[in-house]
Amino acid sequence: MDKKRVVVTGMGAITSLGHSVAENWENLKKGNSGVDKIDSFDTENLRVQIGSEVKNFDPKEELGRKAPRRMDRVCQLGIVAAREAVNDSSITDDSINLDRVGVVTGSGIGGISTLEEQHSRLLNKKARYVSPLFIPMMIPDIIPGHISMKWNFEGPNYSISSACASASHAIGSAYNHIISDEADIMVTGGSEAAITPLALAGFTNMQALSKRNDEPQKASRPFDKERDGFVMGEGAGIVILEELEHAKERGADIYAEITGFGFSADAHHITAPHPDGKGAIESMKKAIQRSNLDKDDFQYINAHGTSTPANDPMETKAIKTLFGKRAYDISISSTKSMTGHLLGATGGIEFISLVKTIQDGIIPPTINYENEDPECDLDYTPNESIECEVKAGLSNNFGFGGHNASIAAKNFEE
């Protein structure tokens, strides 16, 4: 029996760059930054005062008056992105077998704003003032739970938390459910809403964030010699994966084919990546091998590219080790230069960017690339997008704890 093939038939996104896939993609192509001064809370006493917030988001307008009261912002954003993806793929008509539709999403942190608010109530009032909805609003697995309940999807349903690799792990796991014939359709990706005082202070104190408060839009600068840390972002990216014959039978639009994934562990340090990129090499290698494609077939990598001193040279070294001299011919970009770092959601947003790159033949830029770093000497598509036919590409995401995930996709051909 031939191996099942998995295709992308729907996408949804909400980030600082826009409330839809189309709006996000237009801003990515133009090299626009979504980073700015944080305006959702007072940052006067914080050393880092910038972030990549979703702008003009009214949960009541998006979800009705009642539903947002039972959801943390992380879930609200996830539902909005899922709605766009579900509508895009038309998987709600009567012909769909709903017990063959599953949901697997990733979130690195979950409902931290709810945690902060309810902990404040506990300290400043009495225990009885803590909301009975505290736990179900905070836990990351409530995101796929709400998605399944809204559309009656009864297939595999759970959440993955592997720091910044969460959404990529979710996509790979969703792919596996289809390959193993446990589902025909999987709703997958990630959501994150961790721009809060506590999270910001925590990341700041571990020296992970950029402190360019006076130049917010220049703060996220992957692979640039003057990079000084990542910029916190928020949002959600959700895709619909579908078994090919199932998609063809119902006449679905097919955007790209997901061909494989690679997961690995650095087994090195709780926050720092392996300096030689050992785990990153392994995850990319596995994704390529499972794709049954040659390394030479890959023309583009949407890099993890966090804008941190440790990640960017490590990822560069990993790419060069795996691809050899051909690494210099591969186009690379870090869209985190524009969206900021969405932590557990980043794999969803960046996989969508990979699919759009394959679809449109346009490689988005790495903005703020101004100062060459001898350790980062590949083609990072500096500052302006380029037109380039891309038949196959990789999306890399790595997380605290040494988690590595690479997702491979290619243009769809019969």
Amino acid, res. 385 = S
Over the stretch 41-64, which tens digit does the pLDDT of each residue have? 999 999 999 999 999 999 999 999
C-alpha 374 chain-centroid distance: 28
Say if 38 falls within a structural domain. yes
Residue with tokens 């040494």: 402
Q: Which two tokens stand for residue 378?
A: 């590949």
pLDDT band at 414 (very low <50, low <70, confident <90, very high): confident
Over the stretch 147-169, which tens digit does the pLDDT of each residue have? 999 999 999 999 999 999 999 99
pLDDT band at 23 (very low <50, low <70, confident <90, very high): very high
With a cut of 90, say whether residue 29 has pLDDT above it.
yes
Which CATH number goes with the domain that contains 246?
Answer: 3.40.47.10
**What CA–CA distance (Å, rounded) separates 407 from 396?**
7
Say if 2 falls within a structural domain. no
C-alpha 310 chain-centroid distance: 20
pLDDT at 144: 98
Region 168-185 average pLDDT: 98
User: Taking the alpha carbons of 399, 378, 394, 359 in that order, is the dihedral positive or negative?
Assistant: positive
- Annotated catalytic residue 388: no
Asked whether the beta carbons of 16 and 53 are under 8 A apart, the reply is yes
Region 400-407 average pLDDT: 97
Q: Both ends of the chain: CA-CA distance in Å?
A: 17
> Residue 141 gets which letter from DSSP?
T
With a cut of 70, say whether residue 412 has pLDDT above it.
yes
> Residue 328 gets which letter from DSSP?
G
Catalytic-role residue among 164, 177, 274, 403: 164
Burial bucket for residue 44 (CB in 10 Å: 0-12, 13-18, 19+): exposed
**What CA–CA distance (Å, rounded) separates 70 from 143?**
12
Length of the chain: 414
Asked whether the whole model's pTM tops 0.75, one would answer yes
Say if 350 falls within a structural domain. yes
Residue with tokens 């459910």: 177
User: Taking the alpha carbons of 177, 183, 186, 188 in that order, is the dihedral positive or negative?
Assistant: negative
Percentage above 70 pLDDT, the chain? 100
DSSP codes of every residue in 281-298:
HHHHHHHHHHTT--GGG-
Say if 244 falls within a structural domain. yes
Asked whether the beta carbons of 263 and 282 are under 8 A apart, the reply is no
Region 85-103 average pLDDT: 94
Q: Which two tokens stand for residue 260?
A: 């494989």
- Count CB atoms within 10 A of the CB of residue 300: 24
**What CA–CA distance (Å, rounded) separates 371 from 108?**
31
Residues ≥6 apart with Cβ < 8 Å to 155: 98, 99, 100, 101, 102, 103, 177, 182, 183, 185, 186
Over the stretch 340-383, which tens digit does the pLDDT of each residue have? 999 999 999 999 999 999 999 999 999 999 999 999 999 999 99
Say if 164 falls within a structural domain. yes
Helix (H, G, I), strand (E, B) or coil at 374: coil
Helix (H) or strand (E) holding 192: strand 185-192
pLDDT at 380: 98
Say if 59 falls within a structural domain. yes
DSSP codes of every residue in 310-327:
THHHHHHHHHHHHHGGGG
**What is the domain extent for residue 246?**
7-414
Catalytic-role residue among 274, 304, 376, 403: 304
Say if 17 falls within a structural domain. yes
- Annotated catalytic residue 403: no
Q: Which two tokens stand for residue 255?
A: 């955007």
With a cut of 60, say whether residue 1 has pLDDT above it.
no
pLDDT band at 94 (very low <50, low <70, confident <90, very high): confident
- Count CB atoms within 10 A of the CB of residue 30: 14
Region 83-94 average pLDDT: 94
Catalytic-role residue among 177, 341, 376, 403: 341
Task: Provide the number of structural domains found in the chain.
Answer: 1
Say if 1 falls within a structural domain. no
Helix (H) or strand (E) holding 59: helix 59-63
pLDDT at 95: 86
Over the stretch 203-214, which tens digit does the pLDDT of each residue have? 999 999 999 999
**Average pLDDT over the chain, rounded to an integer:** 97
Helix (H, G, I), strand (E, B) or coil at 56: coil
SS3 content of the chain, % helix, strand, coil (to 5): 40, 20, 40
With a cut of 70, say whether residue 251 has pLDDT above it.
yes
pLDDT at 93: 83
- Annotated catalytic residue 164: yes
**What CA–CA distance (Å, rounded) separates 368 from 370?**
6
With a cut of 80, say whether residue 121 has pLDDT above it.
yes
With a cut of 60, say whether residue 177 has pLDDT above it.
yes
In this structure, what are the phi and psi dihedrals at residue 192, rounded to the nearest 5 degrees? -155, 140
